[in-house]
């Protein structure tokens, strides 16, 4: 049985002064690939579900997803954790916890600071009373599509507020804004590593880096050493999925039903090849 809490994976990462990697998954192809490669490389891993992929795109639901991840996790020996990514909807979060998510993110990053702290505490109190953990966000990690987000220091996490925010909310980990953004970057991001160091010195709460697709490896290595214990990757990973489907459709096309049935294997192979390389970044 390898299904564990996110805090257990983050503890293992912290012990080795590195980061665990958390992948945005949407279905069996993604979940199975992540967990199989984690077992192959003997590295703990975190599977994440992004609510937008359920609400907007109808890929799955927390209720369908959690048992699938648990079943796959039970087949391997490495620790596997399950996390609900960005949600600002308390009812949705409660539903995910009921469905078996032992970790959820409450994202109040677009709210005024006091409101973010107040809401995060409410969610953390509820989650803790129900055996779950909470990742918060302090500062605001924006979107790479809004070019200014990644370089807008007004959105960055302020080291001097980190300790008070973490102590007051009781969050179990905190996502920090230090120069990354979600989605494909049009300009190579430059992480504010001095700021990260100062945040890490200010609080003992594990730090999370979002917007992991496209950050150069040398910056990631430094960020992991300076306190990042959880690193989120989505766009790149799902991009591999999409490119593989496009390539496969272009190659085989037609209306033979075996074409669609045979597609899962090449998709999983491509995802696994990507994961083997990406996961070597984590020295967990």
d(CA 79, CA 146): 36
| Site membership for ligand 13P, residue 232 (CB under 6 A) | yes
When the beta carbons of 72 and 137 are compared against ligand 13P, the nearer one is 137
DSSP for 205-235, please give it.
Answer: SPEEE---TT--HHHHHHHHHTTEEEEEE-H
Catalytic-labelled residue, pool 85, 107, 149, 172: 85
* Contacting range for ligand 13P; rule: CB under 6 A; set: 110-118, 163-171, 227-235, 266-274: 227-235
| Site membership for ligand 13P, residue 51 (CB under 6 A) | no
Size of the site for ligand 13P (CB under 6 A): 14
| Site membership for ligand 13P, residue 183 (CB under 6 A) | yes
| Site membership for ligand 13P, residue 25 (CB under 6 A) | no
Distance in Å, CB of 22 to ligand 13P, minimum: 8
Tokens encoding 45: 């891993």
Distance in Å, CB of 1 to ligand 13P, minimum: 27
| Site membership for ligand 13P, residue 24 (CB under 6 A) | yes
Distance in Å, CB of 61 to ligand 13P, minimum: 19
Distance in Å, CB of 223 to ligand 13P, minimum: 13
SS3 assignment for 53-97: HHHCCCCCCHHHHHHHHHHHHCCCCCCEEEEEEEECCHHHHHHHH
* Contacting range for ligand 13P; rule: CB under 6 A; set: 2-10, 161-169, 187-195, 226-234: 226-234
Query: Would you call 85 a catalytic residue per the annotation?
Result: yes
Distance in Å, CB of 232 to ligand 13P, minimum: 3
| Site membership for ligand 13P, residue 83 (CB under 6 A) | no
Distance in Å, CB of 17 to ligand 13P, minimum: 22
107-136 residues in contact with ligand 13P (CB under 6 A) are none
| Site membership for ligand 13P, residue 182 (CB under 6 A) | yes
Binding mask 184-223 for ligand 13P (x = CB under 6 A): --------------------------xxxx----------
Backbone angles phi, psi at 202, to 5 degrees: -80, -30
| Interface ranges with ligand 13P (CB under 6 A) | 24, 85-86, 182-183, 210-213, 232-236
Which residues are designated catalytic? 85
């Amino acid at each position: 049985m390898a299904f564990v809490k996110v805090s257990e994976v983050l503890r293992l990462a912290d012990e080795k002064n590195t980061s665990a990697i958390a992948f945005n998954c949407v279905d069996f192809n993604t979940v199975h690939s992540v967990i199989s490669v984690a077992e192959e490389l003997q590295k703990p891993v975190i599977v994440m579900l992004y609510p937008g992929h359920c609400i907007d795109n109808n890929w799955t639901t927390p209720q369908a997803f959690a048992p699938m991840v648990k079943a796959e996790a039970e087949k391997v020996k490495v620790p596997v954790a399950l996390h609900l990514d960005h949600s600002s909807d308390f009812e949705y979060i409660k539903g995910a916890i009921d469905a078996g998510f032992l970790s959820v993110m409450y994202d109040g990053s677009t709210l005024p600071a006091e409101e973010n702290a107040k809401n995060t505490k409410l969610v953390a109190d509820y989650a803790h009373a129900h055996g779950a953990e909470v990742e918060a966000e302090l500062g605001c990690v924006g979107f790479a599509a809004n070019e200014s987000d990644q370089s807008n220091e007004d959105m960055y996490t302020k080291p001097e507020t980190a300790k008070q925010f973490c102590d007051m909310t009781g969050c179990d980990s905190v996502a920090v804004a230090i120069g990354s953004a979600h989605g494909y970057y049009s300009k190579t991001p430059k992480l504010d590593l001095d700021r990260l160091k100062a945040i890490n010195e200010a609080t003992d709460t594990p730090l999370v880096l979002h917007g992991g697709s496209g950050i150069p490896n040398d910056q990631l290595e430094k960020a992991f050493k300076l306190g990042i214990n959880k690193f989120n990757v989505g766009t790149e990973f799902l991009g591999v999925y999409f490119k593989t489907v496009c390539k496969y459709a272009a190659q085989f096309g037609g209306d033979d039903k075996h074409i669609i049935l045979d597609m899962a294997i090449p998709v999983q192979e491509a995802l696994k090849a990507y994961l083997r390389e990406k996961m070597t970044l984590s020295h967990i």
